[in-house]
């Protein structure tokens, strides 16, 4: 079955997400089951960005009183906008973040402290949600994100690999191929992609369609473009998410357990 490729989203598909969100204006920090994408959608002009760095390497030992924007400049920490409302440029989001005078490392440390109490893999990331409706743009939320594999994930991937199915991960989370391949041994590191925009996911599916019949398994609005582009779209309902109706419309199949993907493959022959 080498002519078949399955592209999986990460959070809500292969693994359960753990999110700690701090509302900077209100000073409240809590675990949230609401995705960062949903939080971004709730803003008139919102954008979500992921810091392209490992917390332990660049932030863990930083002085709590230091501004995050200052640290980003000092450590040359890049970020990637993974989701945004229409009419917002990546450049203006970056400018807003690097001009920020409110978010300090203690805010990041606080979210990480909460996150480490969860049962997660040692693969963590830091994200920011920026309210671009405010003058110049304002960081509204700081997010610490972690993950843990769904119970049936490893079994499914092992079975699909044995069947000759080509496996890929296209996630908006801060994951890296070599880092994540340790926990997903049946997927080659070169097939694991993190910090992907909706357009990036679509482009991956489009590229694979030149060689394979492609199944896209997604769960949230940032998967819509890739699901629409795929030969077969599968909507995962394993996590409670505020999903737009168009996701249900584009889906050829709906699943409540990741193991059901194998049955879909058998069904389509």
- Averaged in consecutive runs of 10 residues, what is the pLDDT profile of the chain (269 residues)? 87 95 96 91 96 95 97 96 95 96 98 95 94 95 96 97 97 92 96 96 98 97 97 95 91 97 92
- Residue 124: strand, helix, or coil: coil
| pLDDT for the residue 244 | 87
| pLDDT for the residue 269 | 75
| pLDDT for the residue 145 | 95
Alpha-carbon span 194 to 214, nearest angstrom: 19
Alpha-carbon span 37 to 31, nearest angstrom: 15
| pLDDT for the residue 159 | 98
| pLDDT for the residue 122 | 86
Strand partners, 236: 255
Alpha carbon distances (Å) from 40 to 48, 114, 130, 189, 220:
6, 22, 8, 30, 13
| Entry pTM | 0.90
Q: What letter would DSSP give residue 48?
A: E
Cβ contact 196:172 at 8 Å: yes
| pLDDT for the residue 2 | 53
| pLDDT for the residue 1 | 43
């Amino acid at each position: 079955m080498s002519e078949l490729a399955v592209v999986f989203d990460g959070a809500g598909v292969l693994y359960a997400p753990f999110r700690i969100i701090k509302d900077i204006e209100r000073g409240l920090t809590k675990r949230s089951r609401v995705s960062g994408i949903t939080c971004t959608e709730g803003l008139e002009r919102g954008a979500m960005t992921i810091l392209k760095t490992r917390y332990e390497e660049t932030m863990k030992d930083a002085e709590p009183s230091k501004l995050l924007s200052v640290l980003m400049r000092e450590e040359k920490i890049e970020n990637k906008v993974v989701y945004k409302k229409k009419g917002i440029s990546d450049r203006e989001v970056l400018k807003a973040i690097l001009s920020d005078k409110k978010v300090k490392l203690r805010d990041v440390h606080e979210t990480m402290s909460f996150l480490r109490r969860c049962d997660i893999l040692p693969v963590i990331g830091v994200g920011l949600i920026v309210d671009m409706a405010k003058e110049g743009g304002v960081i509204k939320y700081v997010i610490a994100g972690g993950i843990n594999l769904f119970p049936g994930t490893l079994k499914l991937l092992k079975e699909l690999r044995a069947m000759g199915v080509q496996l890929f991960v296209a996630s908006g989370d801060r994951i890296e191929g070599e880092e994540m391949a340790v926990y997903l041994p049946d997927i080659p590191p070169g097939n694991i992609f993190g910090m992907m925009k909706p357009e990036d996911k679509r482009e991956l599916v489009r590229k694979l369609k030149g060689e394979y019949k492609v199944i896209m398994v997604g769960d949230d609005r940032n998967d819509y473009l890739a699901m629409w582009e795929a030969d077969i779209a599968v909507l995962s309902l394993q996590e409670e998410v505020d999903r737009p109706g168009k996701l249900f419309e584009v889906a050829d199949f709906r699943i409540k357990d990741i193991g059901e993907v194998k049955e879909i493959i058998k069904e389509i022959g």
